[in-house]
Amino acid sequence: MPVSIASFVCGLIFGIGLLISGMTQPDKVLGFLDIFGAWDATLAFVMAGAVAVSSFGFAFARRRPSPLFAAKLNWPRRDDIDASLIGGAALFGVGWGLVGLCPGPALVNLAGLSVPVVVFVAAMGAGMLSYDQWRERRDPSHTDYDAVTARADR
């Protein structure tokens, strides 16, 4: 139960940060991506602030022998760049550029019950489920974080 509460609190803080910074507004995000037009640098400042604040949290976590609310730390164990990473990043970037939303702000925007946002989140969920099913058929051992990182360690 503490993990669920900690996860909820972290998600709530993240969502509030998105609202305060205006990053739940697709026009603001699209303004950042419009580097040859009316460029809005707000998102760059939001990202820089987030990196600065989170760096303290990561530094604190790296010094701890174990996490506060979980059995072990699950740091990424892969540092390679493969076709899957490039494809996923490209798909994310195209979706972000077309709509002006990424998964976090889209979930925050669900509260407004806007039809385009609901369609976006439904399509995003369908894509995630489709990928999981495709990946499971292709490689049954690739179903959870530990399986992925264990294979990467070989």
Each residue's pLDDT expressed in tens, for the chain with a length of 154 residues? 688 898 899 889 888 888 888 888 888 888 888 889 888 998 899 889 989 999 998 899 889 888 888 888 888 888 889 888 898 899 888 888 888 888 888 888 888 888 988 998 999 899 889 988 888 888 777 655 544 444 444 4
What is the predicted pLDDT for the residue at 86? 93
CA distances from 1 to 4, 6, 118 (A): 5, 9, 29
Closest CA to 107 of 97, 121, 94: 121
- Are the C-beta atoms of residues 28 and 40 closer than 8 Å to each other? yes
pLDDT of residue 29: 84
* The predicted structure's pLDDT at residue 153: 43
Which pLDDT value is given to residue 76? 84
CA max distance for the chain: 49
Is 28:41 a contact under the CB 8 Å cutoff? no
pLDDT for the residue 69: 82
Give pLDDT tens digits for 10-38.
Answer: 889 888 888 888 888 888 888 888 889 88
pLDDT at position 143 is 56
Q: At what angle do helices 26-33 and 83-99 cross, to 10 degrees?
A: 120
Q: What is the pLDDT of residue 14?
A: 86
Question: In which residue are the tokens 């002006």 written?
Answer: 100
In the block, residue with structure tokens 């019950």: 113
